[in-house]
Amino acid sequence: MGNLDKILNKMFLRGVTNKTPVKNNALTAHRSSLIAHRSLLIAISLVAFVFAAQSSYDLMERANALYREGKFKQAITLYRKAESRGADPVATSFNIANSYYQSGMYPEAAASYRKAVDFSNGAFSPALFNMASVYFRLRQYPECVAAYHRALKLEPENVSGWLYLGEAYSKTGDAVGALRAIEKAYQFDKDDISIVYQLSEANIALNDFDRAVSVIREGYAAHPDEVDFLVYLGDVYRLNKKYEESAGAYREALGVRPDEVATMYKLADVLAEDNKLFVAMDVLNNIVNIKPDFSDAAIFLGNLAYDAKFYDRAESAYELAAKQGNTESVFGFKNMAYDAHAEKRDDEALRLLRIAQKYFPDDVTIQADILEFEKDE
The reported pLDDT for the residue numbered 377 is 61
Q: Residue 271, by phi and psi: left (phi above 0), alpha (psi -120 to 50) or beta?
A: alpha
pLDDT one-digit tens code per residue, 5-16: 332 222 222 222
Contact status, residue 148 vs residue 170, Cβ threshold 8 Å: no
Q: Mark whether 303 and 342 lie in a shared domain.
A: yes
- For the chain, give the percent of residues with pLDDT over 90: 83
Indicate whether 309 belongs to any domain: yes
Q: Is 81 helix (H, G, I), strand (E, B) or coil?
A: helix
Q: Which amino acid, one-letter code, is at 303?
A: N
Q: Mark whether 243 and 300 lie in a shared domain.
A: no
Q: Which amino acid, one-letter code, is at 355?
A: I
Long-range residue pairs from 273-281, CB within 8 A, at least 24 positions apart, any chain: 273/238, 273/243, 274/243, 274/244, 274/247, 277/304, 277/307, 277/308, 278/308, 280/304, 281/305, 281/308, 281/310, 281/313
Of 291, 323, 345, the residue that ends a domain is 291
Contact status, residue 323 vs residue 359, Cβ threshold 8 Å: yes
Indicate whether 279 belongs to any domain: yes
Of 235, 266, 291, the residue that ends a domain is 291
The reported pLDDT for the residue numbered 47 is 37
Contact status, residue 348 vs residue 334, Cβ threshold 8 Å: no
332: containing domain: 294-377
> Domain containing 263 — which CATH number?
1.25.40.10
Cα separation of 57 and 83, whole Å?
Answer: 10
Q: Mark whether 266 and 321 lie in a shared domain.
A: no
Q: Mark whether 281 and 301 lie in a shared domain.
A: no
Which residue from 212, 206, 166 is spatially nearest to 185, judged by alpha carbons? 166
Cα separation of 65 and 88, whole Å?
Answer: 18
The reported pLDDT for the residue numbered 46 is 35
Indicate whether 301 belongs to any domain: yes
**The dihedral sign for the CA sequence 249, 255, 258, 260:** negative
Contact status, residue 124 vs residue 94, Cβ threshold 8 Å: yes
> Domain containing 304 — which CATH number?
1.25.40
Contact status, residue 94 vs residue 123, Cβ threshold 8 Å: no
The reported pLDDT for the residue numbered 324 is 95
Indicate whether 351 belongs to any domain: yes
Q: Mark whether 287 and 366 lie in a shared domain.
A: no
Q: Mark whether 279 and 306 lie in a shared domain.
A: no
pTM assigned to the model: 0.75
The reported pLDDT for the residue numbered 55 is 82
**Burial class (CB within 10 angstroms; exposed 0-12, middle 13-18, buried 19+) of 311:** middle
Number of domains in the chain: 2
pLDDT one-digit tens code per residue, 86-123: 999 999 999 999 999 999 999 999 999 999 999 999 99
In the predicted model, residues of the chain with pLDDT beneath 70 are: 1-54, 376-377
pLDDT one-digit tens code per residue, 295-353: 999 999 999 999 999 999 999 999 999 999 999 999 999 999 999 999 999 999 999 99
Indicate whether 11 belongs to any domain: no
Indicate whether 84 belongs to any domain: no
Q: Mark whether 305 and 272 lie in a shared domain.
A: no
Q: Mark whether 336 and 321 lie in a shared domain.
A: yes
Contact status, residue 39 vs residue 16, Cβ threshold 8 Å: yes
Q: Mark whether 299 and 278 lie in a shared domain.
A: no
